[in-house]
Amino acid sequence: MFEDKSIGLVLSGGGVRGMAHIGLIKAMREHHIEAKVVAGTSIGALVGALYANGHAVEDMLKFFKETPLFQYSFFTIIKPGFIDTERYVDIFKKFFPNNSFESLDKPLYVVATDLLSGKEKVFDKGELIKPLLASAALPPVFSPVEINDVLYADGGIMNNFPIEYVKDKSEFIIGSNVSVTVPLKKKELRNSFQLTARVTSLMIHASNDEKLHQCDLFIEPKELDSIGVLDKKGIENAFNIGYEYGSKALEKMLSKM
């Protein structure tokens, strides 16, 4: 079935929980399923770029395990944000030495937010690394990234599940959403930070939900809710959850054919 179809892969934002995307990719490869076009936001853009560049699953995990989230020398007081996002350029060059969309094995669409115009921006040509950094620059932790005199930040602000960019290029769409929400107890909303996090999560989920169900196959593992967005200790757990969900979803679908 899949040999003759053009498959699109859509990967959401969601921080460390995005390691579940890599688990799904492992399951896809075990079932000899390869996407021909990829779209991603934030962590989904980073995983999508590694996948589009032909990296093995082990190398993808290595990238996230070895890239520091909070390195003292990266902290800044001269930019908006606690960490200077552009300090990661040299680290990214080790994995993307050609630093261009054109050098990738598959077409890739990366979504970021133009903070000046307040509009969504999709990158798919030219320089690769800065758009990737911009797409994953979660305010206020990471500073915006300047590209052609414009400041860009996390793509999830405007579009956390960019299915639009693969729709007309795919006959079958596989999606992975790691920005999950689960019911809370009243005691879990005791301060302004918890309230802000909850409201943001619900807004993102509402915008994701309809588009997620436009996929022909998707995973949305609720167990990811227990993993902190910036908790690197959750990398292996999120990866295993994604692999388990991806394997089950693919096996269920293939069993019906």
> 12: domain CATH number?
3.40.1090.10
Total of domains in the chain: 1
**Rounded CA gap, 70 and 83, in Å?**
8
Instruction: Name the DSSP class of 83.
Output: B
- 3-class state of residue 82 by DSSP: coil
Distance CA 41, CA 120 (A): 11
Structural domain including 139 reads 2-255
Catalytic residue among 114, 143, 154, 201: 154
Q: What is the pLDDT along the chain (257 residues), one digit of tens a residue?
A: 666 689 999 999 988 999 999 999 999 999 999 999 999 999 999 999 999 999 999 999 999 998 876 555 566 666 776 788 888 899 899 999 999 999 999 999 999 999 999 999 999 999 999 999 999 998 888 889 999 999 999 999 899 999 999 999 999 999 999 987 767 788 877 877 567 666 666 777 777 778 988 999 999 999 998 888 778 899 999 999 999 999 999 999 888 76
pLDDT for res 83: 83
Catalytic-residue membership of 154: yes
Count Cβ atoms within 10 A of the Cβ of residue 186 and give its class: 0-12 exposed, 13-18 middle, 19 or more buried: exposed
The span from the CA of 39 to the CA of 107, in Å, is 8
- Please give the structure tokens belonging to residue 236: 């292996």
Active-site annotation holds for 42: yes
